[in-house]
Structure 1
């Protein structure tokens, strides 16, 4: 009996296995999961194989892109550096030329003052000249001195002699000017409305007594600079140190010039026989003054360069960061409209 039971159990297991093997495949969700599972496994293996095959090409592609970008940035920075260096080189030439041109104009005022103070003046070629060559001895000596030199100093609007005239000598100076052919000469001042009126009485007058060139400056001849507080203060400052001073000059006639400002160069002239440091010196006899128009000075200097036709030039005064003030603009040859003002950051970068 035991063997019979064992035999029947084995036959039952075989029938269950056979029935199980004859069961239909799973339908619905079961079939879906089975399919997806088999498909994912196969695609993953194939994709990995293909990716491994393409990996060297992908690496080469990205390395190539990286090297190209790096080369671009290096080349761009190198080009920018070369351009900036060339710009700085040209700008340094401009700055040097402007410094030299400015110094030459200062030297002319110093020369005139030196000849006026020297009892035995010499000309610019160090050849002795007649004592009457003292530029302030007469109007004609001053005219000859200025005429021979101003052609080489294009920035000057005018060169002048300003004597210190006590009120008691005012009429004598007027008669002397009329004797030189200046009919109607007078000490004048200009009101706030640009009207020319006789100068008020004051202890000392500071008239523009000699002025060259005469043409274009007729209205300034005889102008009492003592009537202009800022200029009077500047002249008085030179009395203390005897040095040349530079102050901003605004034409009291209200004339505006094309680009920028004008300066007044002031150099005191002491008596020819006065010894420096002597306690007997109470002050100068007068002042050599030079009226410099920055548009003439800088414009003429910059035009001597082969400046690119598209280059606009802005000149700022560098006051140590206190205030960077625009003093002159020189438009390019191609400029037809107004020049745009640079941004503050561009100005700051220029002084960095």
Structure 2
């Protein structure tokens, strides 16, 4: 009985110390996780706002070019090239611009001959098949990529009938009928060799001397569409280059087709620990048919050095109160081990002495 009372303060101190250590460790761990989540949310918001701003700036450039195209019905190929080249130098995320006039079938031969003479090479209207680009089938009208800049790297797109493919045709029709800027869903660019999503921004151009108040009038006044070619991955990389890497992974989805979400671009996690996350936090923002979806990874299987340090420190009672309790506990254990040694012989097993921190 006397012996039990003697050791009671020791074990009580031990239990209190362990309980407080565990409580503070869990509280600090939760605080650390909340801090990570706040940092991620701030980073993700900055990322999405930056991406939206850069996309907005890139899309806005088409309006600058459209003013010149709209007011110059006889715009030449060289004038278009000069006009567009200045814009491309300022916005490297743009793949190119093209002028796509609406051409009746009766004018096909004339336009093919005229372009062949201007380009000093064969020029024909084309469409895509399973075997690649082929001469376009006969139809009432075509919407042809007639001017394109830069020419180098985009040669394959020149002469392509954008009305020959479903997504482009629907977007072109929607642009003409609405009279507004329109974006296609994700497409594979005719001139694209990389496996990267492309998006076309279409701006309808009408004949100046015709009314366009109604849908019927706009259809009758169609002159062509000015097209801006964007590769979303390039724009995102340009937008995020100056920013600090996010502790998570970033997805951009095309949501123009309702429930069908097509991946536009993906930025992987910055560390190997993020490859097997335990907890997630997400942030989604929609902008012009593009969903910016950021996914953060927390609760890493391999804790960071800071997390390991926290676990180690709090297991030993870093706060002043726990440090004092720990010191008293070690002193009490040391005293009791000496007492045990005086009154009783130590067992032969070395683990017993190790367990009491005696050795």
Could you say which residue in structure 2 is the equivalent of 1:62? 15
Q: Tell me the equivalent position of 2:65.
A: 112
Q: Is the 8 A contact 1:136 1:142 kept in 2?
A: no
Deviations 1:208-232 (A, max 9, x none): 0010110011111011112212211
Distance 1:75 1:88, change over 3 A: same
1:99-138 aligned within 5 A: 99-117=52-70, 119=71, 134=72, 137-138=75-76
The structure where strand makes up a greater share of residues is 2
2:207 corresponds to which residue? 271
Residues 286, 331 of structure 1: alpha-carbon distance in 2 compared, 3 angstrom cutoff: same
The answer as to whether partners of 1:265 and 1:290 remain within 8 angstroms in 2 is yes
| Cross-structure match for 1:123 | none
Distance of 1:348 and 1:190 partners within structure 2 = 39
User: Aligned ranges for residues 198-213 of structure 1 at < 5 Å?
Assistant: 198-213=135-150
Q: Would the alpha carbon gap of residues 53 and 334 (structure 1) be closer, same or farther in structure 2, given more than 3 Å must change?
A: closer
Contact 2:254 2:264 in 1 (8 A): no
1:180 is paired with a residue of what secondary structure?
Answer: helix
Alignment correspondent of 2:113: 175
How many positions carry a matched residue from both structures?
281
Cα displacement (A) at 1:271: 2.1
Q: Which residue in the other structure is 2:188 paired with? A: 250
Report the CA distance shift for 1:252/1:110 in structure 2 as closer, same or farther (over 3 A): same
Deviation at 1:277, TM superposition (A): 1.1
Unpaired runs of at least 5, structure 2: 285-292, 296-359
RMSD (CA atoms): 3.2
Secondary structure at the aligned position of 2:130 is classed as coil
Equivalents in 2 of 1:142, 1:54: separation in Å? 93
Distance (whole Å) between structure 2 residues aligned to residue 136 and residue 79 of structure 1: 65
User: After alignment, is 270-279 or 295-304 more displaced?
Assistant: 270-279
Measured in 1, the distance between the counterparts of 2:100 and 2:162 equals: 8
1:214 — aligned with what? 151
Bigger Cα displacement from structure 2, 296-305 vs 143-152 = 296-305
Q: CA deviation at 1:347?
A: 8.0
What is aligned with 2:315?
A: none
2:36 is aligned with 1:83: yes
The match for 1:317 among 244, 249, 253 is 253
Pick aligned residue for 2:238 from 300, 309, 315: 300
Alignment of 1:48-59 (within 5 A): 49-59=2-12
Q: Which runs of 5+ in 1 are unaligned?
A: 1-46, 120-133
How far is the alpha carbon of 1:148 from its aligned partner?
Answer: 0.2
Structure showing greater Rg: 1
- 1:233 and 1:312 mapped to 2: Cα distance? 36
Matched, 1:227 2:164: yes
Cα pair 1:317 1:324 within 8 Å, conserved: yes
Q: CA deviation at 1:150?
A: 0.8
What TM-score do the two structures reach when normalised by structure 2? 0.69
CA distance in 2, matches of 1:334, 1:79: 18
**Shift in Å at residue 103 of structure 1?**
0.7
Contact map agreement 2:245 2:270 (CA 8 A) in 1:
no
Hey, what does 1:93 align to over in structure 2? 46
**Deviations 1:286-315 (Å, cap 9, x if unpaired)?**
10111211221112222232437xx67432
Would you say the 8 A contact 1:226–1:232 is kept in 2? yes
- Measure the CA separation in 2 of the matches of 1:305 and 1:136: 44
Residue 197 (1) aligns with residue 134 (2): yes
d(CA) in 2 for partners of 1:78 and 1:333? 22
Which structure would you say has the larger RCO, counting Cα contacts within 8 Å and 6 or more residues apart? Answer: 2
Q: Is the 8 A contact 1:110 1:244 kept in 2?
A: no
Equivalent residue, structure 2, for 1:241: 178
SS at match of 1:327: strand
